[in-house]
Amino acid sequence: MITQSAEKYRLDGDTLPEGFRLPQSDAEDADEFFVNIGPQHPSTHGVLRIVARLSGETIVEAVPHLGYIHRGIEKMAENQTYIQNIHLTDRLDYLSAFFNNLCFCMAVEQAMDIGLPERGEYLRVMVCELQRIQSHLLWWGVMGMDLGGFTPFLYGFREREMITDIFEEMCGARLTMNFFRPGGSSFDAPDTFVPRIKKFIKIMYKALDEYNTLLSGNIIFQERTRGVGILSREDVLAYGCSGAVLRASDVSYDVRKNDTYSIYDQFDFDIPTRTEGDSLS
């Protein structure tokens, strides 16, 4: 953490972070200084640095600076075949390996004008929806931990490990999974795939009640998130938000329905929305 006074910026002529203003006179806000918070670890919560302007112990202004990890994947892809490039995609996001595999394979399929058997489409949907739950479980656990409760992290990983075990049996990996191929997948799912999913679903339904009691129903958690970080419907549309952030501000949009792909158009499901637009939603 590095601190720098506003006076130093004025005297040295350094460029201020975008969006900041200096005091209008030497007498105004003489105790203001800047604190660089971060950057955070690039493989946990994203590359984020926050430049805070403080007056004493009061944060007057905070400007987030989002970074970008460039790993040369585009360049490496220039010298490999389509099949060889698939393994690069599952490293783009360590919580969405299958989704990135799928996006790449769908692009190749579209370019080559090829399809895949219906069984392959259903397998893709099942795998991706399992990973969606797996990703949300990590988010839920980490959010609880960041707000002062370590126990939710352990509970979330309890069920997450069940999904990870299913993926390991299916493709041999637990994090950077590699399974989809243009036109289908590298091989069929094992015979235990569906039975293990059915077992997991029964356990997950019961776990949701525990999660609500432990975290989302906790008054301390609610007080720290309700009414915090509110984004209006106009805000989320102007900022280009997506996913749960978008739906929390009463925008009924889900790419699986509104810009459907694979065989999601054959499934009937609702898009849950809320109107509060805060961190609790």
Torsion sign across C-alpha atoms 229, 28, 35, 20: positive
User: Do 247 and 274 touch, CB atoms closer than 8 A?
Assistant: yes
Phi, psi of 117 (to 5 degrees): -60, 155
Q: Percent of the chain beyond pLDDT 70?
A: 86
- Lowest mean pLDDT: which of 46-55, 141-150, 154-163? 46-55
pLDDT in tens, 59-82: 899 888 877 667 788 889 999 999
Cα distances from 48 to residues 63, 138, 145, in angstroms, run: 10, 19, 18
User: Do 160 and 212 touch, CB atoms closer than 8 A?
Assistant: no
278: confidence class by pLDDT, cuts 50, 70, 90: very high
Answer whether CATH 1.10.645.10 is correct for domain 73-215: yes
Q: Please indicate whether residue 149 or residue 194 has the higher confidence score (pLDDT).
A: 194
pLDDT of residue 20 exceeding 60, the answer is no
Q: What is the pTM of this model?
A: 0.79
Q: Which residues pair with 50 in a beta bridge?
A: 37, 64
pLDDT in tens, 41-60: 655 556 778 899 998 888 89
Q: What is the mean pLDDT of the chain?
A: 86
List where CATH 1.10.645.10 sits in the chain: 73-215
User: Do 6 and 32 touch, CB atoms closer than 8 A?
Assistant: yes
Q: Percent of the chain beyond pLDDT 90?
A: 63
Closest C-alpha to 215, from 138, 134, 144: 144
pLDDT of residue 216 exceeding 50, the answer is yes
d(CA 65, CA 137): 27
